[in-house]
Structure 1
């Protein structure tokens, strides 16, 4: 069932003849699909005031689960399970993709384990409790507090309400990712870590479990080439080694080459995947495999209608990456959620960069900070092999730190400690300790800024790039505005670290949002100091209508804008402050002179001329382009350096019209496109308004919007 339109989005009730929901093997990146049993489907479920069936792996709040109840704090799942008889002699492992928040697991009444943490994958060796060929009752008791303030919960709504409740959504409680059984060898690889950061070989670390991990021999073989490394486990069952590659092939978005590594220990076999790639900061630049790269990202919260944090099916989940790429993005910031390994593997396979980050609590305490950090080992162990993940995020906008890093040494130390803990776990990726502002220990200085007035946006972006200011007002609630700085500590250098805008976007309607996308992104591209951006956001979620796509992942009305043009390697930058959505300029009564620059982020320079032609108002912008009315002289754009201005002067149109602008090389190939809408601007009707009522009103969006600042 692919999510394509509302009437097909809900998961149908399972029948005896129907396959279970989410039937695919959930770990293609760590493949044991030769011997596994999917436990999704109908389970028995009991909760306060409810008893009946539930469909796993959908949260009990979701319509797809069949329960559709919010604020249940406890639930008990039961079903009969049978491991195949031919698994006799193997070890049997019970795996959970994710359960929110505390899970206690029993087989035939005997406790086999418990786990705390709503986003992490976990597993229990149930060999002694589950006999192959013999049925047993599996019971999972789940506690999911309504008061989530002290536990990592991301965008899930809490009672009492979080400070950021206005941008929170329906909770996702209980089992919300696939549950399955696997057969493994008597001594088996519990985890396999692969790193290709050297670009010449694959570093391997294997942790063994089972009968005899101490001193066990491990063989790692690259499938397809046969290159092999022999490893021997130490006294704790930990084995390390390296496979040198004679002809290494690097992983990049253009050529996402993956290596599949077979790891064998006795009768155990698992195939893990990784790529050779090195992502680093060099001064204020980002480099992938030694070449400068610019991040063109989109924020994706990973919520779905009717199924919450769980994708309704694999096809819909994987299509997300195709859609993001079609919008022109080369990176997805997966917001406050460990996304499924299936999605991460598809990002690896197709070459999409990923900014990954855990969920956060909402109120600070030592216990909440400890719970936040407790996720990090599981995050790195499960997802660290993915070459697509190029940035680790930690806290977001001081959520879980009470918006008060600058005023609290304890809160600042919590962010620093989280950074240092993650750096201990993985030293191969840049880390952002507190996305948005108030940085105290970070490899990227990122900033979140929402500004409805484009003239103010243009001015702020320029001043920030020039280092003239580093603070900005942020509206955290309707009656709560604070001044935030990029820096929460004097120890963070004011230069020499890459600067990335990781949240921006504005507008009430889809037309306004597309208009802001065009013009705000243009101003970011104007300044070569920036290393990238992340637009907010990919798709709508519940009441939040900030997406380029609606909640069903359908395109909205963008008013002629083409996100793929806005986010291309090569774009046009116009020296103009537009007036309004649908009316960038008033229809000129005389010749219109316009300066146009080229921003280019390819490997080689580009050259051509800027052309322009008037089209009837609302004409779609695309290829083929019309015959130009006017053309500029030659213009050349060097990589990552804004070109000098090319001036064009166009005659006036006869009335409202759309001015198409494009850059084409000598062969006529179109390299970049933009447009201007010329139309009358209708002054807004504010009759009867209170004085000042509309001046500082927040616009709907991902977060409370900042008011404009005035330096006069």
Structure 2
């Protein structure tokens, strides 16, 4: 298959433990008519696109979803996928459906909060929209989907063009060969059904929002186009002033022959350089910039980067900074930093449902600003790209992770292969975001050799794919002997920064028990207390030890902070969680009502007493030290 770039892949299994290049190369040979290859275009949100957001017709298919799957579980290309119309006078039946007269759903959005009858529905929903396309000679057109949960299958004019597994990363399907001038029928089937070997698996503590949850658009590009790039501050050895003006990276031009010209321009930094691609379409570079101001929370400087090759041009806004560890210190641009923030779910404040708009993002970050945060853990999956863009502009450092959470089949190679794909998709989309300083490979996983091998391989894969960022994971299960707490999880050996979840004062013991705890770790690495807290219903008041009250939640946090002050290697804290969020496992009437209530704010952005405690600690810098 000449001309295919390594970014194209099908859903066939990959080789466990392979390097990124080998993983991508293997997937190239796995495509078939049943599993069309697709590509992933970086920076779509900075290209000129034709938005397909808005009303889409939809039909709900109850399990076992016979219009999508045959009796053996294979995907069908007949039935709803063909978008025919019922013949009311003569001729054969068409499976008895009609998109043209069906109701509509807003895209992007989840079906759970848009249609009350689908609030707890998990299964298949079919989307259809008639899309005007005017093919141009020498140009190619892709359908870009920011995310759809969990499995997606796409047809254009009855021809299946791609499919994707994973609910939180983007995919692009080429429609060039299937589209014609005029109106084209685009049909997307989305299946949110949970399975044991999915990522995440069948049980997790957040709401399983189904649907096309992020932006959809058409992207038209030349035959040879820039699909991937990486522009970053040189990273190697120890950070120095010389590094602070040297930029390096690559530009990839899809299907380009060797010797194709590429131009890199960063006008404000005095960079203008002509590059040439190798036989793989990749043009690497190292350039010196002038008067480069580094990105930081205090000064979130972004530069307009312009990449051009032939008729294609891409612009992006990129910040340049260096992040690394030195013993137990986290260094940003050579200076020690302390990360004070909160966990954030991608749930829209006030209206609920998935984050889909700039206003949703602004509301979430306004709560971070109210507690004087400089950091956020985006749990437990890659968030809408708007989140990273906003953090880039406002100077909030981020932790981003893939949804490996608890009940994962760590003993199965095909599950590892899925994790590698999701890791690559997350890194590929966001590697040019200065705000992202940590890639996380998992959250709260069982401590055993099989899981440790799985996650160690994945951490090493993340480091090979992007050596400029730190690798972490949120651990559970330290050994406790009275007041002595020791964490010796072997996964820590594979991490740059250790994340530790614990809930002293809520799931175990009393808030004051935290004061007496003495923590030790078997590695000398930076530590982030990545989860801690208690549940409280906003407006529910009582004593410091009355559960479910704002006073008790605040009391738990105060004693947590006292404990953390005594642990020398603490370099960050993220209470669980910024805002109350929906979860099907939280079912105490009048207290939870389907929400995890550990938020510093309610789902309506109402400030609890816990938020005041956190703001005071962050303002006074009373928790831990950067050095």
TM-score (norm 1): 0.66
Equivalent in 108, 112, 131 of residue 57 of structure 1: 108
Q: Could you say if the C-alpha distance between residues 312 and 345 of structure 1 is closer, same or farther in structure 2, counting changes exceeding 3 Å? A: closer
Find the counterpart in structure 1 of residue 149 from structure 2. 100
Distance 1:107 1:93 in 2: 11
Q: How many angstroms does 1:340 deviate by?
A: 1.4
Query: Is this contact kept in 1: 2:474–2:498, CA < 8 A?
Result: no
Q: How many angstroms does 1:128 deviate by?
A: 2.7
47-56 or 324-333: bigger deviation: 47-56
1:552 aligns to 2:604 (yes or no): yes
Find the counterpart in structure 2 of residue 216 from structure 1. 260
CA deviations on 1:77-130 (whole Å, 9 max, x unpaired) are: 111011357x66532221010012222212111222222222111112222333
Q: How many angstroms does 1:250 deviate by?
A: 0.7
SS in structure 2 of the partner of residue 552 of structure 1: coil
Which structure 2 segments of 5+ residues have no match? 1-39, 63-96, 236-242, 478-488, 536-547, 583-594
Distance 1:412 1:527 in 2: 25
SS in structure 2 of the partner of residue 199 of structure 1: helix
1:204 aligns to 2:249 (yes or no): yes
Find the counterpart in structure 2 of residue 380 from structure 1. 427
411-420 or 110-119: bigger deviation: 110-119
CA deviations on 1:51-84 (whole Å, 9 max, x unpaired) are: 5322211122x22257635344222211101135
1:39 aligns to 2:58 (yes or no): no
Find the counterpart in structure 2 of residue 455 from structure 1. 512
Q: How many angstroms does 1:46 deviate by?
A: 1.8
1:321 aligns to 2:365 (yes or no): yes
Distance 1:107 1:66 in 2: 29
SS in structure 2 of the partner of residue 538 of structure 1: coil
Query: Is this contact kept in 2: 1:54–1:66, CA < 8 A?
Result: no
1:251 aligns to 2:318 (yes or no): no
Q: How many angstroms does 1:569 deviate by?
A: 5.0
1:123 aligns to 2:163 (yes or no): no
Equivalent in 489, 493, 496 of residue 524 of structure 2: 496
1:139 aligns to 2:187 (yes or no): yes
Distance 2:44 2:453 in 1: 39
Query: Is this contact kept in 2: 1:448–1:501, CA < 8 A?
Result: yes
Find the counterpart in structure 2 of residue 473 from structure 1. none
Query: Is this contact kept in 2: 1:151–1:360, CA < 8 A?
Result: no
CA deviations on 1:492-539 (whole Å, 9 max, x unpaired) are: xx2421122111113522222123223322432344432121111100
Q: Could you say if the C-alpha distance between residues 569 and 205 of structure 1 is closer, same or farther in structure 2, counting changes exceeding 3 Å? A: farther
Q: Could you say if the C-alpha distance between residues 213 and 258 of structure 1 is closer, same or farther in structure 2, counting changes exceeding 3 Å? A: farther
Q: Could you say if the C-alpha distance between residues 239 and 64 of structure 1 is closer, same or farther in structure 2, counting changes exceeding 3 Å? A: same
Distance 2:41 2:162 in 1: 25
Distance 1:70 1:391 in 2: 33
Equivalent in 241, 256, 260 of residue 304 of structure 2: 260
1:556-567 → structure 2 map (5 Å cutoff): 556-558=608-610, 561-567=612-618
Q: Could you say if the C-alpha distance between residues 369 and 42 of structure 1 is closer, same or farther in structure 2, counting changes exceeding 3 Å? A: same
CA deviations on 1:290-320 (whole Å, 9 max, x unpaired) are: 1111111211122236976621521121332
Query: Is this contact kept in 2: 1:106–1:139, CA < 8 A?
Result: yes
Distance 2:266 2:172 in 1: 26
How large is the RMSD of aligned CA atoms in angstroms?
Answer: 2.6
213-222 or 516-525: bigger deviation: 516-525
CA deviations on 1:422-458 (whole Å, 9 max, x unpaired) are: 1111111121245345342211222111111233201
Equivalent in 283, 297, 302 of residue 327 of structure 2: 283
Find the counterpart in structure 2 of residue 506 from structure 1. 534
Q: How many angstroms does 1:32 deviate by?
A: 6.2
1:396 aligns to 2:453 (yes or no): no
Query: Is this contact kept in 2: 1:120–1:338, CA < 8 A?
Result: yes
Find the counterpart in structure 2 of residue 444 from structure 1. 497
Query: Is this contact kept in 2: 1:29–1:342, CA < 8 A?
Result: no
Find the counterpart in structure 1 of residue 126 from structure 2. 76
Distance 2:253 2:567 in 1: 50
SS in structure 1 of the partner of residue 389 of structure 2: helix
SS in structure 2 of the partner of residue 316 of structure 1: helix
Q: How many angstroms does 1:152 deviate by?
A: 1.2
CA deviations on 1:550-591 (whole Å, 9 max, x unpaired) are: 1122212459x45322212533xxxxxxxxxxxxxxxxxxxx
> Whose radius of gyration is greater, 1 or 2?
1
SS in structure 1 of the partner of residue 274 of structure 2: strand
SS in structure 1 of the partner of residue 168 of structure 2: coil
1:429 aligns to 2:442 (yes or no): no
Distance 1:213 1:333 in 2: 41
1:417 aligns to 2:457 (yes or no): yes
1:592-631 → structure 2 map (5 Å cutoff): none
SS in structure 2 of the partner of residue 359 of structure 1: coil
TM-score (norm 2): 0.74
Equivalent in 325, 330, 343 of residue 299 of structure 1: 343
CA deviations on 1:348-382 (whole Å, 9 max, x unpaired) are: 11100101101126232413233222211111100
Query: Is this contact kept in 2: 1:394–1:432, CA < 8 A?
Result: yes
Distance 1:66 1:229 in 2: 55
Distance 2:121 2:610 in 1: 37
Query: Is this contact kept in 2: 1:184–1:269, CA < 8 A?
Result: no
Query: Is this contact kept in 1: 2:154–2:162, CA < 8 A?
Result: yes
Query: Is this contact kept in 2: 1:505–1:535, CA < 8 A?
Result: yes
Distance 1:311 1:94 in 2: 21
Which structure 1 segments of 5+ residues have no match? 1-26, 471-493, 572-598, 602-638, 641-712
Q: How many angstroms does 1:37 deviate by?
A: 1.2
Equivalent in 520, 531, 540 of residue 560 of structure 2: 520
Q: How many angstroms does 1:28 deviate by?
A: 13
548-557 or 337-346: bigger deviation: 548-557
Q: Could you say if the C-alpha distance between residues 416 and 557 of structure 1 is closer, same or farther in structure 2, counting changes exceeding 3 Å? A: closer
CA deviations on 1:138-192 (whole Å, 9 max, x unpaired) are: 11122332x33311137xxx4xxx3xx5xx2331223111110122233110112
Query: Is this contact kept in 2: 1:274–1:386, CA < 8 A?
Result: yes
Distance 1:306 1:139 in 2: 31
Distance 1:312 1:35 in 2: 19
Distance 1:65 1:351 in 2: 37
